Chains A and B, each alone.
Chain A
Amino acid sequence: GAGVSQSPSNKVTEKGKDVELRCDPISGHTALYWYRQSLGQGLEFLIYFQGNSAPDKSGLPSDRFSAERTGGSVSTLTIQRTQQEDSAVYLCASSLALRTGQKLFFGSGTQLSVL
């Protein structure tokens, strides 16, 4: 595709339910990143992938959060037993390679609302 695609664009769920957020990076981009954008919290790093492996999971807020990437392409961020504090915009980005100085291309995000 032309850019990073995220789905769904909006997700409303009930507290305690599981949700899956999907990211389709730009074709050929080996690095993929997940961020969370909350009101008043700025952009919070969650996890990144080089190919299918995740060298740095340090940003995942709790063990309810997990992510995987398959075929060096699509990634899924899963939040189990959602809580109200999980409400935020979840952003995915990709880059050609995993090295400093690389330009990241961002998707439009998934707005998650936990009621």
Chain B
Amino acid sequence: GNSVTQMEGPVTLSEEAFLTINCTYTATGYPSLFWYVQYPGEGLQLLLKATKADDKGSNKGFEATYRKETTSFHLEKGSVQVSDSAVYFCALSDYNQGGKLIFGQGTELSVKP
């Protein structure tokens, strides 16, 4: 079945450091890929998405490129801020499974000043 694997956390970085959170997926069809973020005390919200191979999703300085050849959707940001501290979830939805989101385990990011 479909699944998402992301790097384990917690990840601790200093402010202005470069961020990469790895995400790989397994899917039988042609899924759409997402990054959702959960800030402390808040609900899950969409950060960015990509719906086909080679698409790049971007938002708030974060980027991720849909790589079909490596089945990956790694999240990157060039310079993190303290306010980026949150839990990040990689997810996919596949037409073959009715469009429901399958999530990875989540990666906690802590950014220190």
Chain B residues with Cβ under 8 A from A102's Cβ?
A: 93, 99
Chain B residues with Cβ under 8 A from A42's Cβ?
A: 89, 103-106
Q: How many A-B residue pairs have CB under 8 A?
A: 62
Number of interface residues of B (CB under 8 A): 24
The number of chain A residues touching the other chain, given as a range, is: 20 to 34
Q: When the two chains form the complex, which single residue of A4, A33, A41, A91 contacts B100, counting CB atoms closer than 8 Å? A: A33
When the two chains form their complex, are residues A108 and B43 in contact, meaning their CB atoms are under 8 A apart?
yes
Q: When the two chains form the complex, which single residue of A31, A107, A108 contacts B99, counting CB atoms closer than 8 Å? A: A31
Q: Which residue of A lies closest to B104 (CB)?
A: A42
Residues of B within 8 A of A (CB): 31-32, 42-46, 49, 51, 89, 91, 93-95, 97-106
Residues of A within 8 A of B (CB): 4, 31, 33, 35, 41-43, 45, 48, 50, 55-56, 91, 93, 95, 98-104, 106-109
